[in-house]
Chains A and B, each alone.
Chain A
Amino acid sequence: MPAFLLSRLWQSLVLLVIVSIIGFTVLNLIPGGPLAQFALDPGMTQEDLDRIARQMGLDRPLPVQYLDWAGKLLTGDWGNSFRDGAPVLQVIGRHLWATFLLMGSSTALSIAIGTWIGIRGATHRYSVFDYTATVGAMIALSIPTFWFGLVGIYIFSLELGWLPAGNMYTIGDGSALNYLHHLILPSVVLSLVNVAIWSRYMRSATLDVINQDFVKTARAKGLTERRVLMKHVVGNALLPMITLAGMQLPGILGGALVTETVFTWPGMGRLFLDSLGYSDYPVIMGLLMFSAILVILGNLLADIVVALVDPRIRLG
């Protein structure tokens, strides 16, 4: 297995280089460029802009700029935000944990509920439960998240007044309970779609396994239906889910743009949107690299877990 990991890691590095080159090039090809935000200032003259460009090294050829940026990236210097001059890593760090809180809780919730619905839908195929879950999933998937968000705010915040309509905490109150209170609505809204997705995948994965011969073997041994299900069916049905979960990792840390905007949640999605608005190139590039690393890490992690669980891959 170490050999297999090593080769995957090597591929990942190459991939990162390619992603960074493409990202850097495309970003700099966008009309306006990094100086656009300075040009908005009516007092700016062309000389001022040139001076700023020189200071920031933006007058150099693109490949030189890239190499400079990439070299610093390796040493841990991801540049400084154009907006407030803070180091990019620090900016990302500030938003990371808010996103992690929201997406982490929502993902855990949706995996738990989605898996359960999927398994039950498969074992009770064509039952009332199965039909309800199927139709429910279709509805959740076809209505955009922001609509659920707005309806949630309307009902639970405005009408009932049970839950706050936005933000991560009440200013001046940093208690865990207060965070939790703010977390409920966005987390549940975000889960709706994910529960739908997970339940569909889990249902079909379970159906794939449930008619296999080894499940019949398990029954023929005289095992209880519960053990047949938990040990033989679910164990095998979860295998493809691991890869799927791995693909969710970038989402967990990358943030959900729409939900974070609707609930004014100070996460990565919001940061990305704001940075785009300000043409904050160092932060945008930082976010791009960050999410590329997450995608690769997520898949790598999924591969490792699958290998740990599945002997055919671990030993084969």
Chain B
Amino acid sequence: MTSAPASLPAGHQNAALSVRGLTVALPPGMERTHAVQDISFDLLPGQILCIIGESGSGKSVTANAVMGLLPKVIRIEGGSIVMDETDVLSAQPATLRGLRGRAVAMIFQDPLSALNPLMTVGDQITEVMMAHGVGTAADRKRRAIDLLTEVGLPDPELMYHQYPFRLSGGQRQRVMIAMALTLEPSILIADEPTTALDVTTQAQILDLIRDIQRRKGMSVMFITHDFGVVAEIADSVVVMEKGHIVEQGSAEKVLKSPEHPYTRRLIAAVPHLTGTDRHPPLTEKVAPVLKVEGLMKTYSSGSKWLRSYREVKAVQDVSFELAPGRTLGVVGESGSGKSSLGRLLVKLMESDGGKILFEGTDIAAMKEAEFRSLRPKIQMIFQDPFASLNPRATIGHILTVGPVAHGMPHREAREAAKALLTHVGLDAGAYGRYPHEFSGGQRQRVGIARALMFKPKLLVADESVSALDVSIQAQILKLLDQVQQETGVSMIFITHDLRVASQICDEIAVMQKGRVVESGPPSRIFLDPQSPYTRELVAAIPGEERGEKPTH
């Protein structure tokens, strides 16, 4: 073991995992030379240690280094990682393989891509036992079914023979957890295991991890960017910024009295449910910008003819009104129909019934050619800032191509674009650059500027902050709020995150299975939810003090 920094003791004798002076280099040409630099921490037996930081802080690199799973181009320069009396960094590949799956197991962020699509759930679980030569075929199968039962999957016998694509995200993450638990490892590394999940599913998975950790006395290293999640499960916390540990200590201490400004900033960035409304309710009657009546959309697949016909009612009889300059939040889990609703409103998809009255005109019935002149007035901000900008186009082109197509002179478009870029917090120099030169948060600013180029009356933001770190989320929400104050644009804000919705919405509609089950101002939805589904959603929010009304 190399010498430890002064701030830490030489390492707990009984630590399940002990990291000392770990330094990992990045390949040349990256924005900094090291992914992590001289970091030391201990994971104590039977504890949940949260490593928190924004993207690029080096938290995932740390997790992968512990597993010995770093890609070859990322080199470890120094330090030690000791578990089970073995130094992972100097161990032979065969020794390391023996540890993986048996002494330490890992679950990943995206359950949709973490399972082999061609193998059944059962095969993927028994493979762990096979790799370590445990049990006979019959034993392994029995154990796999026990595990599937243990992680709370319905009908384990059937699940055993199921392929991953048949399971939901939450179910797949349970399979991953079952797989990780197979050989009862003493350490579980969870790399943002709930970030890709809905709030309610996230709450269930967090419960499951905590419950299993307690029952088995496992040590868990939990990577996250969300202090809400930390508050839910952590025993101790390590805060990372740009490859360095800026603060570590017990969860209680770090959460209640954070010392480092970065920690304070991260904690402050966690959106909380606000019980107060943004604007006082409208007193006089204003003509709504958007009025939706009985909107319907049904997806069908297969052929009636061949009896493979299936129908999904994505949007059922949805009605609401949106006043000028106000924001309506549409909240629900995946599959609730909220994104379908968004697509219907901007006519990326045709509705099957109902009316969409935009400034008094029914756009639902319009042909594409008629609607084209209205398109500039209704704009969309997309979810994934990485996929929604054309990588081969400059920011300038992305911003101006639409308005120019609608007849704005080039020069005017260029001036407007540059002005807007400054307005959304980028500099005008961004005009000639390409999307890959920007971070996720910056790209989302570009996305907002793109939508604003048209001087729209209505913005539809579909999960526009959910791919971003919590701290960046807060900045983007602030920007959207500022834009609305200045331009008076109305907004439909689609999200699965109630905390986010409470920050920016004047009115919230909760959707479940294609229907709006409850709607009203945030104060009522959050403090006095009427429908059981809304209550469930509110209860699932991580990091909120239960039974205590938010004060600000």
A interface residues with partner B (beta carbon < 8 Å):
3-4, 6-7, 212-214, 216-225, 227, 231-232, 235-236, 239, 309-312, 315-316
Contacts and interface: CB of A to CB of B under 8 A. Distances in A.
A238 to B, nearest CB: 10
Contacts of B118: 235-236, 239, 309-311
Contacts of A227: 131
28 contacts: A3-B308, A4-B306, A7-B303, A213-B108, A213-B110, A213-B114, A216-B108, A217-B106, A217-B108, A217-B116, A219-B69, A220-B69, A220-B100, A221-B131, A222-B97, A222-B99, A222-B100, A223-B101, A223-B131, A227-B131, A232-B116, A235-B116, A239-B118, A311-B120, A311-B163, A312-B117, A312-B165, A315-B166
Contact of A3 (B100, B116, B176, B307): B307
Contacts of B100: 219-222
Contacts of A225: 93
Interface string B95-125: 0011111100110101001111111100000
A231 B67 CA distance: 21
A239 B104 CA distance: 32
Contacts of A311: 117-118, 120, 163, 165
A158 to B, nearest CB: 48
B127 interface: yes
Contacts of A310: 117-118
Interface residues of B, number: 34
Given A214-B115, A220-B100, 12 more contacts: A7-B306, A214-B113, A214-B114, A217-B176, A223-B101, A223-B131, A225-B93, A227-B131, A231-B119, A310-B118, A312-B165, A315-B163
B301 to A, nearest CB: 10
A219 B72 CA distance: 14
A231 B110 CA distance: 21
Question: Main secondary structure on chain A at its contact with chain B?
Answer: helix
A305 to B, nearest CB: 13
A171 B308 CA distance: 59
Question: Most B CB atoms within 10 A — which of A4, A218, A310?
Answer: A218
B75 to A, nearest CB: 16
B116 A218 contact: yes
Contacts of A213: 108, 110, 113-114
Contact of B179 (A3, A221, A235, A312): A221
Nearest to A238: B118
A228 to B, nearest CB: 10
A153 B531 CA distance: 83
Contacts of B307: 3
Contacts of B163: 311-312, 315
B132 interface: yes
A222 B108 contact: no
Nearest to A312: B165
B144 to A, nearest CB: 13
A222 B102 contact: yes
B505 interface: no
Contacts of B303: 3, 7
Contacts of B101: 220-223
B266 interface: no
Interface string B290-309: 00000000000001001110
Contacts of B115: 214, 217
B81 to A, nearest CB: 15
Contact of B306 (A6, A223, A235): A6
